Chain A
């Protein structure tokens, strides 16, 4: 699966993007406030619930697999010591919990990305953050979501091109360099062409944005998001 919107009629698809953004923010705050295994167990249920409400499943997390090496290696690095005992389990466990929190946030983000068209995200941001900063943020979010899948495809194409000519026999470091250089070159020319395409279609900082309206279904979501934020604040104060 990709990091992209998937049209559908799930509950999350019907929610206003502002409600979903509040739930995301509340979830992220709670994940950093409640670091115990019990707290993370509750948040796990909540994260899986968010993804399911967006009609998603484990396959949607495949798009985030590039983060996996960092999340896995971080506890190993944190636990390693330069002398005896060579590895400290307590440090590794703390970092593993932190990695797990990041994973949970990615699960909730996957539900958001899957259920929210980019232009709705842009509208939500521009209406929440007034003026130029909101326009700038909204455009930035739109371009990132458009550009990331293309960048990923360019890197995969570069990797296939290396493989197609026997590049698999090369040392990993050499292969990484080839893919990175070719991928970055492609990304720059891709960015140029995307810029031209935006110009050709009269790119505007303040276009007609889709209408947003909070409905009955949004109130529980707002309550969950607000509740999570409140719980995070209470936990930090306590």
Chain B
């Protein structure tokens, strides 16, 4: 379970955390720097499919980056499975797998297999366990047998799936995806949605950050809408959908 309690993140002058790369534009300005996330409290139970929605600059990327310590709150606490993120970064980053907006930023090796193995190798796992995790992660994203493919030869959808596999190989309890459909064509979007649906069905908690709910509203258990760094909506999809357009979030037509 991820528990966010009163988290505020600022960047620029007055910001104490390492939050320069907020990912989705500007947050609200102020004399003490720009506030990207403003006193947010939130709980993500195990197994939930949560959508964090908001316009550019609403603070959603910064918020989810606090889940595994990639962004440091200026105030408030984030705990993962009962342990404060700041107290054990490796535990947090193992429990919360992160897929970035642009998968090219995430892929750190030249072949698919080497990239997926990168995280488990850093955890110091045995070779047999690393091999098993790579095979399982590839199967989970429907890319079995593609270990030796060169990353630069993959399509956008395949890169996204390899990035997801790289996060899954850490054996996370929660999988966080930041705008996973950006730049993907319709078949690639469908492929990613299918994989996410399967992963969620198998028990992985999924958190998706997006400003466009058309692909994921049907999968969501809950939608949290952010505006100017604050939680403006926190409701079941059916209830949230009426309020989200006011936050500049795109929703499916009825």
Q: Can you list, as one digit per residue, whether each of B1-45 has a CB less than 8 Å from chain A (1) or not (0)?
A: 000000000000000000011000000000000000000000000
Query: Interface with A: B51-59, B124-132, B181-189, B206-214, which one?
Result: B124-132
Within 8 A of B (CB), among A5-50: 5-7
Query: Interface with A: B111-119, B192-200, B242-250, which one?
Result: B111-119
A2 at the interface (CB under 8 A from B): yes
Least CB separation from B99: chain A residue: A200
Given contacts A4-B152, A204-B121, A208-B125, 18 further A-B contacts (CB under 8 A): A7-B111, A117-B110, A118-B110, A119-B117, A192-B21, A193-B21, A194-B108, A197-B100, A197-B105, A200-B68, A201-B93, A201-B108, A202-B119, A202-B122, A204-B124, A206-B124, A207-B121, A207-B122
* A199:B21 contact, CB within 8 angstroms: no
- Name the 10 nearest CB pairs between A and B, nearest first: A7-B148, A201-B119, A207-B121, A204-B122, A193-B105, A202-B122, A208-B121, A207-B122, A200-B98, A197-B106
Complex Cα gap A70–B120 (Å): 42
Least CB separation from A5: chain B residue: B110
Q: Give chain B nearest CB distance to A152 CB in angstroms.
A: 11
Complex Cα gap A119–B119 (Å): 13
Q: Give chain A nearest CB distance to B113 CB in angstroms.
A: 9
Chain B contact residues, CB within 8 Å of chain A: 20-21, 68-70, 90, 93-94, 98, 100, 102, 105-111, 114, 117-127, 130, 148, 150, 152, 166, 170
Complex Cα gap A199–B118 (Å): 11
- What residues on A are CB-neighbors of B102 within 8 Å? 193
* A202:B110 contact, CB within 8 angstroms: no
Given known A119-B109, A119-B114, contact A202–B123 (CB-CB < 8 A) = yes
- What residues on A are CB-neighbors of B119 within 8 Å? 201-202
Q: Give chain A nearest CB distance to B33 CB in angstroms.
A: 18
Complex Cα gap A127–B249 (Å): 53
Complex Cα gap A190–B21 (Å): 11
* B120:A200 contact, CB within 8 angstroms: no
Complex Cα gap A78–B125 (Å): 55
Given known A193-B105, A208-B127, contact A117–B111 (CB-CB < 8 A) = yes
- What residues on A are CB-neighbors of B107 within 8 Å? 197
Task: Name the one of A118, A149, A199, A208 contacting B124, with C-beta atoms under 8 angstroms.
Answer: A208
- What residues on A are CB-neighbors of B70 within 8 Å? 196, 199-200
* A145:B110 contact, CB within 8 angstroms: yes
* B170:A202 contact, CB within 8 angstroms: yes
Least CB separation from B104: chain A residue: A150
Complex Cα gap A190–B100 (Å): 13
- What residues on B are CB-neighbors of A149 within 8 Å? 110, 152
11 of the cross-chain contacts (CB-CB < 8 Å) are A4-B152, A118-B114, A119-B117, A194-B108, A196-B105, A197-B107, A199-B70, A200-B106, A202-B94, A206-B124, A211-B127
Which of B69, B102, B106 has the most chain A CB atoms inside 10 A of its CB? Answer: B106
Instruction: Report how many residues on chain A are interfacial, defined by Cβ distance under 8 Å.
Output: 30
- What residues on A are CB-neighbors of B69 within 8 Å? 199
Q: Give chain B nearest CB distance to A123 CB in angstroms.
A: 10
Complex Cα gap A74–B69 (Å): 50
Task: Name the one of A117, A190, A199, A200 contacting B114, with C-beta atoms under 8 angstroms.
Answer: A117
Which of B94, B110, B111 has the most chain A CB atoms inside 10 A of its CB? Answer: B110
Task: Name the one of A198, A206, A209, A211 contacting B108, with C-beta atoms under 8 angstroms.
Answer: A198
- What residues on B are CB-neighbors of A201 within 8 Å? 93, 108, 118-119, 122, 166, 170
Least CB separation from B92: chain A residue: A202
A203 at the interface (CB under 8 A from B): yes
Within 8 A of B (CB), among A154-202: 190, 192-194, 196-202
- What residues on A are CB-neighbors of B122 within 8 Å? 201-204, 207
- What residues on B are CB-neighbors of A204 within 8 Å? 121-124
Within 8 A of B (CB), among A111-164: 117-119, 145-146, 149
Q: Give chain B nearest CB distance to A202 CB in angstroms.
A: 4
Complex Cα gap A109–B247 (Å): 55
* A197:B148 contact, CB within 8 angstroms: no
- What residues on B are CB-neighbors of A202 within 8 Å? 90, 93-94, 119, 122-123, 170
Q: Give chain A nearest CB distance to B64 CB in angstroms.
A: 11
* B93:A199 contact, CB within 8 angstroms: yes
Complex Cα gap A192–B23 (Å): 12
